Structure 1
């Protein structure tokens, strides 16, 4: 039977794996050195494994979302105009997702970090072929993880807007969560994306688990990561770069799949938008849009 440990503590999803050991003394020493709230789990394998989990913030209900205009303006006033526009649209998308989904099931896992939105925009190859630009927009927004939840769903929406900025008549294939077709072709992209970004941030922790003969790590939503399928033995800075490149390639493949499913092969070789063209579309082309229809 595979030896499996949880990435998020099973009773507290805001606590994530920070350290593992076969030694009780070592795990207790790490706990004493931690400045965060901690929890421990001992996994009763033939050779036991002890895992330390740390939590940095409390999980809040979606009912606590209150991104009013004044609050948001104060948070983004120092961003360049492009970052401000994308931040406003991302918040609108988040609020639409919450409105469509059951609020009791929609949780806020972290603080809103709008400064990361500008970082995402700075890493896009603007003016490259459309699948590349759209995929990189999606990938970099997901990698920076600026919203307290729904970063994948809002990332897909931004990919759609990127395509529409070049072809306003583009019709997105259905990606609603209650659609069986969505689960067939979109969900695998999201699941693999979550695997990549989890390994990207934790290669050394996962290498430590691998050395303890752990086979699988399971994050929330039941997503399992088979450690043998990933290269873990590298410096953490190298892992950040390597897995960011893999994630961008993954999202570019998704953008190409979107265009093919929409039967718009004519857009595969079309030049993608410049940053200004994309921002202009977000400002002027979405004024009357009801974002709830996207979720």
Structure 2
């Protein structure tokens, strides 16, 4: 039977795996040194393994969300215009996602970090092919994780807008989360994306688990990461770069799949938008859009 440990604490999803050891004394010492709240799990394998989890924010209900215009303006005023426009649309998308689902069931896991949106735009290679630009936009927004939740769903929406900025008549394949067909072909992309970004941030922690003969790490939503399938033996900076590149390729492949499913092969090799064309579309082409229809 595969040996499995949890990445997020089973009773507290805002606590994530930080250290592991066969020595309870070592883990207790690390716990005493931690400046963050901690939780400890002992896994009763033949040789017990102890895992320390740290958490720095409380999970909140989306009922607490209040992104009014004054609050948002104060948070994004220091951003360049492009970053402000994307941040504004991302917040609208988040609010739409909350509206579609029960607000008390929609969880907020972190603070809103709008500066990361500006970073995402700066790391996008504009005027490549449509799927490359759209894939990079999606990947960069997901990797920087600027929203409190729904970064994958809003990232997919931004991919859609990126394609629409080239062809406003583009029809996105159905994206409703309660649609079985959507889940069948999209969920595997989202799940693999979450695996990549989790390994990217934790290669050394996962390397230690692998050395302790752990086979699987399970993050929230039941997503399992089989450690043998990933290269973990590298400096953490190298892992950040390598897995960011793999994630970008993964999102570009998703963009290609979207175009093929929409029967728009004509856009596969067409040049994507410039940064300004994308921002102009977000600012002027979506004024009457009801984003709830996308979720």
Range of TM-score over shorter length: over 0.9
| Runs ≥4 residues deviating over 4 A | none
Which residues in structure 2 correspond to 1:179-194 (within 5 Å)? 179-194=179-194
RMSD: 0.4
**1:225 aligned residue:** 225
Structure 2: tracts of 5 or more residues without a match: none
Quote the Cα distance in structure 1 between the aligned partners of 2:92 and 2:104. Answer: 19
Aligned residues: 295
Worse-superposed segment, 175-184 or 162-171 = 175-184
Q: Please report how far the alpha carbon of residue 102 of structure 1 lies from its aligned counterpart in structure 2 after TM superposition.
A: 1.4
Tell me the TM-score normalised to structure 1 length.
1.00
Quote the Cα distance in structure 1 between the aligned partners of 2:68 and 2:176. Answer: 27
User: Structure 1 residue 43 and structure 2 residue 43: aligned?
Assistant: yes
Tell me the TM-score normalised to structure 2 length.
1.00
Which residues in structure 2 correspond to 1:99-114 (within 5 Å)? 99-114=99-114
User: Structure 1 residue 286 and structure 2 residue 286: aligned?
Assistant: yes
Quote the Cα distance in structure 1 between the aligned partners of 2:129 and 2:69. Answer: 35
Which residues in structure 2 correspond to 1:43-122 (within 5 Å)? 43-122=43-122
**1:170 aligned residue:** 170
Q: Please report how far the alpha carbon of residue 176 of structure 1 lies from its aligned counterpart in structure 2 after TM superposition.
A: 1.1
Quote the Cα distance in structure 2 between the aligned partners of 1:212 and 1:142. Answer: 31
Quote the Cα distance in structure 2 between the aligned partners of 1:92 and 1:233. Answer: 40
**1:206 aligned residue:** 206
Structure 1: tracts of 5 or more residues without a match: none
User: Structure 1 residue 273 and structure 2 residue 273: aligned?
Assistant: yes
Deviations 1:29-72 (A, max 9, x none): 11011000000000000111000000000000000110110111
Quote the Cα distance in structure 2 between the aligned partners of 1:102 and 1:69. Answer: 23
Q: Please report how far the alpha carbon of residue 104 of structure 1 lies from its aligned counterpart in structure 2 after TM superposition.
A: 2.2
User: Structure 1 residue 247 and structure 2 residue 247: aligned?
Assistant: yes
**1:131 aligned residue:** 131
Contact 1:175–1:181 (Cα < 8 Å) also in 2: no
Quote the Cα distance in structure 2 between the aligned partners of 1:164 and 1:223. Answer: 31
Quote the Cα distance in structure 2 between the aligned partners of 1:172 and 1:221. Answer: 26
Quote the Cα distance in structure 2 between the aligned partners of 1:185 and 1:32. Answer: 46
**2:150 aligned residue:** 150
